Amino acid sequence: MFYTEHRFYGKSMPTTDFTSESLRLLHSSQAQEDLKGFIMMLKEFDRYKNSKVMLFGCSYTGGLVAWMKQKYPELIQVTYSTSGPFYAKDSMFEYLQVISRMIYNLPNIGKQCFDGLFYGIQQLEQEYDSGPEGAASVIKKLGICPPYDPKGDYDKAAVFQRFGVEFGNMGYEDPEKPSNACNRLINATGETYAEKLVNYRTNGTTPIFCYRTVDYDSTAALYADTSLNGKERPWFYQQCNEFGWFVTTETNTQVFGKSVLPFFYHQLCRDAYGATFTDENILLAQENTNKVYGGYTPNVRKSVFVYGSSDPWAPMGVQESLNDEALTFYIQGGGHCWDMFPQSDEDSESMTYAKVNSRAWVKKWLSED
């Protein structure tokens, strides 16, 4: 078994910086060529010359391995994709829909937590929209560092994006985390939903230490560091240049308000990588990605796709089995890439079924001539 590293991540750096010029070498198609070169190099050794090749990927690389098989079916025998997104999409509002549904379905506390977030964020947005003083008040209440000088919808999006990020990450982590966070929210003090949400964020005290400044400019600064220390920059470049997958609140069927829309991310793309990232070009890049890779329906066989119902990336994945040798498994209650761990007595029935059957198919395909 070999673990390969994607160019521009970790130690695999083809350039000495992350400038926009350097990042032109960062593309999913180029990563596939790197992987092909690695496999061909291994096959020059006698011990690997006749070896079969199976690729395994989680999240973005879950998509990458299937795209690789689609491009080089003679070289790759089997692929296993867990939580892999395939369909490039600008406004990925489905991400927060999944998180909202996960919260609502929490046993005993789901409805209370759902309402607490929905109405709490709604009330804070209304106060923010009441004028400069209201906006400054919301920012200060949330423990965000000064200056309290919000400027328009871009700053508002940066502030309210935090709630979706915080709860969204829970789809990746320990299944107890959403319950723990919701219990804290439900038990927070306050006369209104907004007060309870603020006290949840600040643990019910006046913050002694503020969070970092949260506004559009500080968000843009995360992607502005062109040195190799700018770890946020490569992945966001791929989003702007290939995939989209911008997490937005552009639907009423989620609890995180209405403030985070595609315009926010498109402007970040331009400020980070240059004026060529117009709205039109960003959308054309996503369209081209789906044209090249097939969107929801990559043309593959002997491939497994696994998703969890609480995985916020699942809506961008292969929604159903494509043929009798390209099979999709769903894990009820499963999160992001949870099936990649060994079988356990603590696995749910759905998790056990997905692990046992997906791996049985892989074993069968690898045993075939």
Q: How many residues does the chain have?
A: 369
Q: Which residues contact 119 (CB under 8 A, 6 or more apart)?
A: 193, 194
Is 211 a residue whose pLDDT tops 70? Answer: no
Asked if 264 and 155 touch (Cβ cutoff 8 Å), the reply is: no
pTM over 0.75: yes
47, burial (CB in 10 Å: exposed 0-12, middle 13-18, buried 19+): exposed
Mean pLDDT of all residues in 311-337: 95
- Could you report the per-residue pLDDT of 278-290, keeping only the tens digit for each? 999 999 999 999 9
Mean pLDDT of all residues in 81-91: 98
pLDDT for position 141: 86
pLDDT for position 205: 52
- Could you report the per-residue pLDDT of 186-203, keeping only the tens digit for each? 999 999 999 999 988 877
Q: Which of 149-153, 175-179, 266-270 has the lowest mean pLDDT?
A: 175-179
Mean pLDDT of all residues in 6-21: 94
Cis peptide, bond prior to residue 147, ω within 30 of zero: yes
Distance CA 274, CA 282 (A): 12
Is 169 a residue whose pLDDT tops 80? Answer: no
In this predicted model, which residue has the larger pLDDT, 173 or 220? Answer: 220
Q: What is the mean pLDDT of the chain?
A: 93
Residue 79's φ and ψ, nearest 5 degrees, are -130, 150
What value, to the nearest 5°, has the Cα angle with vertex 66 and ends 61 and 72? 120
Collapse the DSSP code of 149 into the 3-class scheme (helix H, G, I; strand E, B; otherwise coil) and give the result: coil
Please report, for residues 76, 84, 256, the alpha-carbon distance to residue 300 in angstroms, rounded to integers and kept in the order given: 10, 14, 37
Collapse the DSSP code of 222 into the 3-class scheme (helix H, G, I; strand E, B; otherwise coil) and give the result: helix
Confidence of residue 174 (pLDDT cuts 50, 70, 90): low
Closest CA to 141 of 198, 186, 208, 212: 198
